[in-house]
Chains A and B, each alone.
Chain A
Amino acid sequence: MQITLNGHPRDCGQGTTVTQLLHEAGYAGRRVAVEVNQEIVPRSLHEGHELREGDRVEIVHAIGGG
């Protein structure tokens, strides 16, 4: 199935969870926050949150800024 990750199309397997997506993207265990379709998915729910076709996923972190 296809999702949009940080504004770019991405293929992932049916039933991929947020935890799996973070792992595939290299961000497992890193300090990031995840939003799916403009709703926060709390860290405690990453494991059980299955993505669906067309989901818009954002993975963010903190960078330098004023």
Chain B
Amino acid sequence: MNIKTLDTTDSLIIAGKSYGSRLLTGTGKYKDLDETRRATQAAGAQIVTAAIRRVNLGQDPNAPNLLDALPPHEFTLLPNTAGCYNAVDAVRTCKLARELLDGHKLVKLEVLGDERTLYPDVLETLKAAEQLVADGFDVMVYTTDDPILARKLEDIGCVAVMPLAAPIGSGLGIQNRYNLLEIIENAKVPIIVDAGVGTASDAAIAMELGCDGVLMNTAIAGAKDPVLMAHAMKLAIEAGRAAFRAGRIPRKRYASASSPIDGTIG
């Protein structure tokens, strides 16, 4: 069969590793670990983010934890630096993650500017990215949808650049598709929309624009039925990717008949 959409060679390649799924998911905000696992499976996600936090001393150390639900031999863990507001904390967090995951190099760098917007602090992000790349990390970096900044992060050596579509958890969808297009057209590393997706059509639009993938958490975990939404997102990502590869028709102001004009009666 020669249908491009079924082409198994259309993989997402990050830091030399190939992934069949272009939907990356977060693991926060779920009801429990069972729901986390079921939603992750319904999404078909292969790369899943995790946060690095102090253990809760005094609580049962043998309680099931995230790595039991999503074991590193089944999923590519993407430890993040969520909650870090400066480069120093972000770099420390990545080093802890590397130790925790036995030398694992792939990390999601996010350095936030303030709690209201959760917008990236781009100056601290650049500083942290430079240090992490120099230290041998494979850095997937959360950033604004600024094309110049995206290019600088790529130049530093980040393995993927992940612009926001809208503020984290806002569900506002793709707010500036022209900036995203500009970033995509000039990039040599994967561009992954990270944050802002609200529903399946948002994810499809990101993929139709030519994004290499989408990373989302709240849109799935916050839905009334997270597992069903995870399934919807999987379909949207696949549909959007197929439409991008198929090449859409140009937009026109006037109609163009679908049936032949020749041979009409009367």
Closest A residue to B51 by CB, please name it: A65
B residues neighboring A (CB under 8 Å): 26-30, 33, 36, 49-55, 57, 61-62, 65-67, 77, 79-80, 82, 92, 95-101, 168, 216-218
Closest A residue to B194 by CB, please name it: A66
Closest beta carbon of chain B to A50's beta carbon, Å = 19
Q: Are A59 and B92 in contact (CB under 8 A)?
A: no
Report the count of interface residues on A (CB-CB < 8 A): 26
Q: Are B65 and A63 in contact (CB under 8 A)?
A: yes
Q: Which of the residues B65, B79, B96 comes within 8 Å of A58, measured between beta carbons?
A: B96
Q: With a CB–CB cut-off of 8 A, which chain A residues contact B66?
A: 62-64
Q: Which of the residues A7, A26, A38, A43 comes within 8 Å of B54, measured between beta carbons?
A: A7
**Chain B at the A interface: SS class:** mixed
Known contacts: A25-B61, A65-B50. The answer to whether A33 contacts B99 by CB under 8 A is: yes
Q: Are B49 and A60 in contact (CB under 8 A)?
A: no
Q: Besides the contacts A30-B62, A63-B53, what 20 more A-B pairs have beta carbons closer than 8 Å?
A: A27-B55, A33-B96, A33-B100, A35-B92, A40-B95, A42-B99, A59-B55, A61-B53, A62-B52, A62-B65, A62-B79, A62-B97, A62-B100, A63-B50, A64-B28, A64-B30, A65-B28, A65-B53, A66-B28, A66-B80
Chain A CB count within 10 A is highest, among B53, B55, B62, B101, for: B55
A residues neighboring B (CB under 8 Å): 5-8, 25-27, 30-35, 38, 40, 42-43, 58-66
Q: Are B29 and A59 in contact (CB under 8 A)?
A: no
